[in-house]
Amino acid sequence: MELVGRVLLLVHLFGFAILVGGLVVQLRSTAPEVNAAMLHGAWLELLTGAALVVLLVLGGGEIAYPQLSVKLGLTLLIVLLVSVNRKFSSIPRGLWALLTVLSLINAGVSVLWQ
């Protein structure tokens, strides 16, 4: 069970890397867009995060509900913004910056909140 949890954590980190990579690619673009990497990375983060919580509950581990709530809220907001704006050929620079900041805050909550 521990191996499954570690693999899920690795895939969760890949989801974050894919999302941030998709955002960084848009850094120099004059008309940033929601690319496939951002969409798939956000969904991968959400699904693997949920699977990690399920494993923790099944394993009888202790859950930090405040941290989990903040991470879930941030991830859902990112997925919502990315999914809704996927259909447009470009997005405002402010939305791109918001997605970047939300993604980095989400990672910061994971690492810094003990």
pTM (predicted TM-score):
0.93
Is 60 a residue whose pLDDT tops 90?
Answer: no
Which residue is listed with tokens 């879930």? 72
> In terms of DSSP H, where are the helices of 1-114?
2-25, 36-58, 65-85, 93-112
What token pair was written down for 13?
A: 């980190």
Average the pLDDT over 62-88 and give the result.
Answer: 95
CA angle 89, 95, 101 (to 5 degrees): 135
Q: What letter does residue 45 receive in the DSSP assignment?
A: H
More confident residue, 1 or 74: 74
Parse the chain into domains and list their residue ranges: 2-112
Tens digit of each residue's pLDDT (9 = 90 or more) over 10-48: 999 999 999 999 999 999 889 999 999 999 999 999 999
Is 72 a residue whose pLDDT tops 90?
Answer: yes
> Which residue, among 106, 114, 41, has the nearest Cα to 70 in the 3D structure?
106
